[in-house]
Copies of this chain bind each other. A is one copy, B any other.
Amino acid sequence: MFGIIAVDFGGTNIRAAYFPSSQPPPTTHNKTATLADEGPDSVIARLIQAIDSLIPKDDVEFKIGIAAPGPLDPRNGVVISSPNLAGWTNIPLRDQISEHFGVPVFLGNDANAAALGEWRFGAGQGTDNMVYLTISTGIGGGVIADGQLLLGSRGLAGELGHLTIVSDGPVCGCGIKGHIEAVAAGPAIARNAVSQLEAGRLSTLKETLSAQGEITSVDIGKAAQAGDELALSVLEEAGFYIGHHLANLAHAFNPEVFILGGGVTLLGDLFFEPIRRSLHEHIMDPAYLDGVRVLPAALGDDAGLVGAMVLASQS
């Protein structure tokens, strides 16, 4: 039996935890700022520090699992490039960490890792075919196909935020027009609310905008819960597109369950109801939805960390 040190890092934070028996919960964990602006060498030094502080004192052998922002090559352990990590181009992170600690290291895309975590220990347990979407600042994804994480030839599969949904829609963070991420992630929802306010539509969000200078999906959720019509219609619209997207994904992957995580999904039924309605409207044959569930993720912010642990445990 190995112990596993799991790390999940992004543009903002490095989170690390020690799982002595390859399953949640961890016995110890820590969180530090990524300080991505300082560049790869500095971030890698902080990753090493975070791991170092969790090394088991009792001479137990351990492995390391790391979830990092993609695109990355999990088979060769290389971060290819990352919009949120300045200067990270073709960084052989796996080998650098492995050489430092002298133990096996496994690297995976963070959304793929979160899918793995939800599959083995969260809302997707017991299924063989699962589609996971995380909807927050961006939209990421991961697919379990016939009981295995779908990787593709270079491990870049499952980028489910970057499929077309509104062909002449806004430009996505990746530079291509009309992806679901550009239409239904948190910033798109907030932008829609602001543009409706600017067009003169009445809403309690007008005061929020004046007071804060911006609106977040959390503000929109609160206003929607209080019955604000603009807030409700903006969530309805985003839910419509996500549901349509899920129908496309059903045709491609035919999963038995969709798991939705990320900040925006915390809005609950106000978001899930329009999603489920639109999924049913856009499916080509009812056989695709026979017994299919659309569930909220169960592991919250820990999905990536748990998934990084799974990455190391199953290898």
Interface residues of A (CB under 8 A from B): 71, 73, 80-81, 127-129, 143, 145-146, 148, 150-160, 162-169, 172, 174-176, 178, 244-245, 247-248, 251-256, 282-285, 287-288, 290, 292
Contact = CB atoms under 8 A, between A and B. Distances in A.
Contacts of A152: 129, 145-146, 253-255
Contact of A254 (B127, B155, B165, B244): B155
Contacts of A167: 164-169, 178, 244
A252 B252 contact: yes
Interface on chain A toward B: helix, strand, loop, or mixed SS? loop
B71 A285 contact: yes
Contacts of A129: 152-153, 157
Contacts of A290: 154
A71 B282 CA distance: 16
B287 A157 contact: no
Given A155-B254, A248-B163, A284 B174 contact: yes
A271 B306 CA distance: 46
A145 to B, nearest CB: 6
